[in-house]
């Protein structure tokens, strides 16, 4: 994508953090922008800072399929067809999987994974039908590669977003629609305060909010990367139709170390009876996968 000017962009989690940075960057490129967020007061505050007639705010719980469809209809009626989608809304829950409840799962999965699915399923068919190309950016995290005991459910959702985004990239490439996955590290944002927007209906089994830890996380996030820096790096990647958007260079060596550990886990096991038949199939699959990756890089969008 060489030119953003004149396009309509839809940004979830758009009232703070990376989302608001993206809104500023897109407006500067001449886009019309809809910022969607669950916090209406945050939307109002964000719109005051943007002070641009080409931006509107849309209250949205990304976990709601109907809400997403209604938001899309409103935005396209007011700003025109959406061809840039940034599924960026996200929350976090700092606890291990074994200490979590089903409601914990439903809440975090609902926002971090189903929110992205809802964005894709709402806009991708419209973008394909119009034939105007475009780009979808799904925000994952370096937590889509790097795990720890905490936060387990968050890790699960981000791994899923990464895999979904790669598959989607190959299926949309023939339609001139690019797909990227954004994998940031620490960001100056309010994700540490996710409990503030947890629905009352999903509080069963929730552990009491550890206000001391939230306070520590708030201090840590003050040293996060500025959203405007991430936004500019994201738009640069969209222009170049790159799949992975690694905004934080400090993770490169750790990722290389991780991949080396993964490869080292393979063993020189003896051939089993079905080996020769399998490798013939896998050779074809491997060639197809490589062809899909190359096509995804080269398709105009």
Which residues share a beta bridge with 187?
225
Q: Which helix (H) or strand (E) holds 93?
A: none
Query: Which residue in 180, 181, 177 sits closest to 157, CA to CA?
Result: 181
Rounded-to-integer distance, Cα 195 and Cα 156, Å: 19
CB of 145 closer than 8 Å to CB of 183: yes
Catalytic, 154? Answer yes
Rounded-to-integer distance, Cα 53 and Cα 83, Å: 19
Buried b (16+ CB within 10 A) or exposed e, 254-279: eeeeeeeeeeeeeeeeeeeeeeeeee
What's the distance, CA 18 to chain centroid? 10
The CA-atom distances, in angstroms, between 124 and each of 14, 86, 118, 131, 173 are 19, 12, 10, 11, 12
| CB-facing half-sphere around the CA of 73: CA atoms within 13 A | 6
Buried b (16+ CB within 10 A) or exposed e, 125-150: ebbbeeebbbbbbbbbbbbbbeeeee
The active-site residue, picked from 154, 192, 244, 289, is 154
CB of 206 closer than 8 Å to CB of 198: yes
CB of 14 closer than 8 Å to CB of 36: yes
Instruction: Write out the catalytic residue numbers.
Output: 154
């Amino acid at each position: 994508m060489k030119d953003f000017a004149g396009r309509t962009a839809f940004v979830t989690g758009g009232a703070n953090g990376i989302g608001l940075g993206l809104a500023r960057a897109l407006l500067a490129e001449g886009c019309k922008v809809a910022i969607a967020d669950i916090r209406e007061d945050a939307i109002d505050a964000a719109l005051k800072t943007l002070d641009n007639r080409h931006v509107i705010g849309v209250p949205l719980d990304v976990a709601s399929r109907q809400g997403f469809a209604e938001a899309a209809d409103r935005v396209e009626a007011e700003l025109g067809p959406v061809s840039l989608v940034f599924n960026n809304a996200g929350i976090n829950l700092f606890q291990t999987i074994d200490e979590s409840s089903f409601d914990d799962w439903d809440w975090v999965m609902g926002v971090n994974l189903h929110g992205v699915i809802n964005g894709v399923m709402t806009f991708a068919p419209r973008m394909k039908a119009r034939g105007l190309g475009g780009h979808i950016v799904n925000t994952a995290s370096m937590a889509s590669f790097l795990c720890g005991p905490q936060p387990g459910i968050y890790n699960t959702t981000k791994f899923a977003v990464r895999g979904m985004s790669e598959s989607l990239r190959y299926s949309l490439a023939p339609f001139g629609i690019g797909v990227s996955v954004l994998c940031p590290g620490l960001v100056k944002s309010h994700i540490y305060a996710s409990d503030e927007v947890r629905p009352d209906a999903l509080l069963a089994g929730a552990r009491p909010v550890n206000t001391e830890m939230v306070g520590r996380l708030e201090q840590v996030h003050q040293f996060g990367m500025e959203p405007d820096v991430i936004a500019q790096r994201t738009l640069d990647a969209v222009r170049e139709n790159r799949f992975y958007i690694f905004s934080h260079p400090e993770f490169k060596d750790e990722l290389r170390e991780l991949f080396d550990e993964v490869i080292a886990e393979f063993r020189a096991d003896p051939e089993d009876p079905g080996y020769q038949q399998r490798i013939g199939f896998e050779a074809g699959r491997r060639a197809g996968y490589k062809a899909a990756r190359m096509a995804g890089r080269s398709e105009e969008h």
